Amino acid sequence: MTDGLPLPRRYVAIGAISAGTALVIIDGGIATVALPTIARDLHVGNSAVVAVVTVYQLILAMMILPFAGLGDKFGLKRTYQFGQLVFTVATMLCFFAKSLPFLLVVRAAQALGAAAALSVSSALIRSIYPAKQLGRGLGINSVVVSSSAALAPTLGGLVLGIAPWPWVFASAVPFALLSLVLGRALPAPQPRDEPFDVLGAVMCASMIGLVISGAESAVHGDSPVVSAAIVAVGAAIGWIFVRRERGEAKPILPIDLLARPVIALSAIGAYTAFTASMTLLLSTPFRLQHGFGFSAAEVGAAIAPWPLTNMIVAPLAGWLSDRVPAGVLGGIGMAVSIVALLLIATLPADAAYVDIAWRMALCGSGFGLFLPPNARLIIGSAPRERAAAAGGLVGTVRLVGQTTGATLIAALLAINVGAGMAPPLVAAGLAAVAGICSLARLRPSIRNPRSDEAEDQQPGTQVSR
C-alpha cells in the first residue's frame, strides 16, 4: 500500500472518504444552529438541549479508539462501511423523536456509526495516496472538513426556515449513501488474525465516558458528590487502564505514540484548540439570537465565514508544512486566533453582520493555520502499522476537546454567562495554551522520531516539527 491506489480507482476512493468526512462534520455541526428551536419545541431548557451535541460528541470520543482496534482486526474498509450504514439507519429515526430522551438515544446511535467510520478514515487516506502525497491527501481532507463545516450552519438555517427541525439531521443522509456506494473502491487491507483486547476497549470507553459524564452531571445541577464520584471512578479506571496498556504490544490507547514528545505536544495543543473553537462556536448562536436579535438563518450566515476561510487557509497550511516547521505555523495561527477572539469578546452593542463576519473569518484563519499541519505531524510520525491508532488519536483528541467545549458552554449557560463575552475570553486562554505547545516543538531537545513517512520521502525533505 506504500504506492497508494492506482488511477482512476484512487479518485473514487477519495470521493468515498470525502463524502464520509462531510457526513460526520455536517451532522456534528448542523445541530448547533437548531439547538434553540429544539429547546422550544421539546420544552426543555437551553443548558439541557446542549446534550444533543454533547451526547453525540461523547459517544464518538468513547468509541473511536476501540473501533480503530476493530478496524485492524476486521479490516479498515469493512469497519468504515459498517459505520456508514449504522449512521444512515439511525438518522431516519430522528423523525420519530418527540422527546429529548429519545432524541439523545438516536444521536448516540448516529455517533456509533460515525465513530466506526471516523476511526479508520485517516488510515484509509494513508493507504489511498502514495506516501509522498500524504500531505496533499490530508490537505484535500481539510478542504472537505472546512467546506462541510461552512455548509452545516448555513444548511441548518435554511432547513429550519422551511421545515421542522428533524429535517436538519436528515440533511447528512445523501452523503452517507454516496459514501456507501463509492466505498467499494476503498483499499481493503487483509484483516489481521490477532486477538482484540475487549477488556481494554471497555476500559478505554469507560474512562472517557465516566470522566466526561461526571463533568456533564455537575454542570446540569446534579449532586456535586455524585458528579465527583463519577469522575473519580473514571479517573481510577483510567489509572488502571494506562498501567495495563504499558504491557500491550499494540495498546488501544496509543501510549507508545504519546511517549514521543512531538506527538504528545501536538495532541495537547490540538485538544486545547478544539476546546477553544467549540467553546466559541456553541456559544455564538445563543449570543447572536438573545443579545443581538439575529434569526436562525442569520446566525448560520454569521458563523459561516469561519469555515469558509478554512477552505482557503487549511490546504495552504498543509502545503506550507512541507517547507515551514509546524511549530512556527501553529504559533502564528494561535496568535491570530487570540486576537480575533478578543475582538469577538468586545463586540459593540450595535454590531451588524459585517462586524461579526470578519472577526469570525480572522479567527477561522488562525485555527486553519494551526490544525492541519498539527494533524499531519501526528499521522505522519507514526509507524505505518500504527496508522489506525494515530488516526484514532487525532479523532479522539478532536472529539474530547469539542465535548469539553460543549460541557464548558453548558456550565456557562447554567450560570447565565454563556451568551456574553465570557466564552470568547475563555477560548482565547485555551488558544494561548495551544500556541505554547506548538512553539515548544521548536526546542532543539525535541526531535521528531523516525517514521515510515520520513523513510518514504524524497531526499531533501523532512517531517516538520
Domain ranges in the chain are 9-197+248-456, 198-247
Q: Smallest Cα–Cα separation from 321: which of 126, 134, 451?
A: 134
Q: Smallest Cα–Cα separation from 125: which of 415, 378, 408, 421?
A: 378
What pLDDT does residue 391 have?
Answer: 80
Looking up cell 480507482 gives 9
CA distances in angstroms from 451 to 248, 354, 456, listed in the order given: 20, 46, 9
26-55 core/surface letters (b: 16 or more CB in 10 A; e: else): bbbbbbbbbbbbbbeebebebbbbbbbbbb
CB neighbour list of residue 315: distance below 8 Å, 6 or more residues apart: 139, 140, 142, 143, 372
What is the Cα–Cα distance from 43 to 39, expressed in whole angstroms?
6
What pLDDT does residue 463 have?
Answer: 47
What pLDDT does residue 29 have?
Answer: 72
Q: Please, what is the average pLDDT of the chain? A: 80
What is the Cα–Cα distance from 321 to 51, expressed in whole angstroms?
37
> What's phi and psi for 272, nearest 5 deg?
-70, -35
3-class SS letters over the chain: CCCCCCCCHHHHHHHHHHHHHHHHHHHHHHHHHHHHHHHHHHCCCHHHHCHHHHHHHHHHHHHHHHHHHHHHHHCHHHHHHHHHHHHHHHHHHHHHCCCHHHHHHHHHHHHHHHHHHHHHHHHHHHHHCCHHHHHHHHHHHHHHHHHHHHHHHHHHHHHHHHCCCHHHHHCCHHHHHHHHHHHHHCCCCCCCCCCCCHHHHHHHHHHHHHHHHHHHHHHCCCCHHHHHHHHHHHHHHHHHHHHHHCCCCCCCCCHHHHCCHHHHHHHHHHHHHHHHHHHHHHHHHHHHHHHHCCCHHHHHHHHCHHHHHHHHHHHHHHHHCCCCCHHHHHHHHHHHHHHHHHHHHCCCCCCCHHHHHHHHHHHHHHHHHHHHHHHHHHHHHCCHHHHHHHHHHHHHHHHHHHHHHHHHHHHHHHCCCCCCCHHHHHHHHHHHHHHHHHHHCCCCCCCCCCCHHHHHCCCCCCCCC
Residues of the chain with pLDDT under 70: 1-3, 46-47, 131, 135-136, 146, 149-150, 189-194, 220-222, 322, 445-465
Give the max Cα distance, the chain: 64
> What's phi and psi for 311, nearest 5 deg?
-60, -30
From the CB of residue 462, how many other CB atoms can be counted at a distance below 10 Å? Answer: 11
Give the three cell numbers for residue 31.
445541530
Give the three cell numbers for residue 426.
475563555
Quick check: pTM over 0.85? no
Judge contact between 171 and 26, C-beta under 8 A: yes
Rg (CA), the chain: 21
Instruction: Give the tens place of pLDDT for each residue, 244-276.
Output: 888 777 788 888 888 888 888 989 999 999 999
What is the Cα–Cα distance from 122 to 299, expressed in whole angstroms?
32
296-312 core/surface letters (b: 16 or more CB in 10 A; e: else): bbbbbbbbbbbbbbbbe
What pLDDT does residue 457 have?
Answer: 45
CA distances in angstroms from 152 to 30, 143, 310, 335, listed in the order given: 5, 14, 14, 26
Report, at the CATH architecture level, how domain 9-197+248-456 is classified: Up-down Bundle (1.20)
What is the Cα–Cα distance from 406 to 408, expressed in whole angstroms?
5
